[in-house]
Amino acid sequence: MKTGCERRLDKSFRNAPVLALYPGSRIVLFSDCHRGVGNTNDNFLKNQNLYMAALRHYYERGFMYIELGDGDELWENRSFDAIYEIHEDVFSMLSLFAKEKRLYLLYGNHDHEMKNDRRIPHHAGIILKLCGCTKQGAGGKPYCLELYLTHGNQADFLNSTLWRLSRFLVRYLWKPLEQLGVLDPTSAAKNYQCRERSEKRLSHWAVKHQCYLIAGHTHRPVLGNSETRYFNTGSCVHPCSVTCIEIENCEISLVKWRVEVRADNTLYVVRERLAGPLSMREL
């Protein structure tokens, strides 16, 4: 019998769009930006310049941008228009990707309401299918690999099926307590045990379905392997950095963007590879 997590993940991919991956494909995966309204609860604000530097880098190099949910913080804030006004430069940059058909957005638990947004479609999941490569040592036979992209909140009943209740608790209980330093114990990003359970469930689903799953939600960056089959982009609200996953030349890398200081005390943005590259031909 399938678990609730398995049923929810199955549903996410039932009608998911399939995007072809080629040896020359360039894709960057971000998640959990949690763009807010510029107040003290806007966790994205401190990393906005880092994020913008990364966006320009990927746009200029022809990458496709895929956001795996929780892009906008609509649990703590009621209005997307207020978020757009504060972070208009970010959305202007994203619109450049959209004009060139290089933008795909997923929805998570904190921006579930964007599911019905009429301006830009938000998906529950996307499937990347590798085409045109051959598996090494397989005699040149055609090789097919699928990467399943979703937010990952499906592993957590409270943050998926009961997302409206969770939104109520965050908006009226945990949001004011956060300013006093009290963390939300139901959050997979802030509670170690919740995070561990979510990641194990996601990995179990990927192994059972013989695919590779890339998610966000827990905010912990992970570069998986052929055993766990689970990857995670991390988030854009780490204390001093943003993390993402790059796919280029049939290779996957986990990347961090951070600020460094030169000898003359000027600041500059650094792109650092945390793990990889991992050849998709080896998976």
What pLDDT, on a 0 to 100 scale, did the predictor assign at position 38?
A: 85
Q: From CA 224, how far away is CA 201, in angstroms rounded?
A: 14
What pLDDT, on a 0 to 100 scale, did the predictor assign at position 144?
A: 76
What pLDDT, on a 0 to 100 scale, did the predictor assign at position 224?
A: 87
What pLDDT, on a 0 to 100 scale, did the predictor assign at position 175?
A: 67
Q: What 3-state DSSP class applies to 122?
A: strand
Q: How many CB atoms lie within 10 A of CB 145?
A: 17
| DSSP assignment letter at 145 | E
Question: What is the strand order of the sheet 267-279 is part of?
Answer: 122-123, 103-106, 64-68, 26-30, 241-248, 251-261, 267-279
Q: From CA 109, how far away is CA 114, in angstroms rounded?
A: 10
pLDDT digits (tens, 9 = 90+) for 44-87: 999 999 999 999 999 999 999 999 999 999 988 888 989 999 99
Low-confidence ranges of the chain (pLDDT < 70): 132-143, 162-163, 172-191
Is residue 226 classed exposed, middle or buried when 0-12, 13-18 and 19+ CB atoms within 10 A define those classes?
Answer: exposed
Q: How many CB atoms lie within 10 A of CB 142?
A: 10
Q: From CA 150, how far away is CA 106, in angstroms rounded?
A: 7
Domain boundaries, the chain: 4-282
What pLDDT, on a 0 to 100 scale, did the predictor assign at position 186?
A: 55
* Cα 101 versus chain centre, distance: 19
What pLDDT, on a 0 to 100 scale, did the predictor assign at position 139?
A: 55
What pLDDT, on a 0 to 100 scale, did the predictor assign at position 92?
A: 94
Where residue 149 falls (left for φ over 0; alpha for ψ -120 to 50; beta otherwise) is: beta
Q: Candidates 1.10.246, 3.40.50, 3.30.230, 3.60.21; correct CATH number of 4-282?
A: 3.60.21
Name residues whose C-beta falls within 8 Å of residue 62's C-beta, 6 or more positions apart in sequence: 26, 102
Q: From CA 176, how far away is CA 171, in angstroms rounded?
A: 8
Q: Are 206 and 230 in contact (CB under 8 A)?
A: yes
Q: What integer best gives the mean pLDDT of the chain?
A: 86
pTM for this one? 0.89
Name residues whose C-beta falls within 8 Å of residue 8's C-beta, 6 or more positions apart in sequence: 154, 160, 161
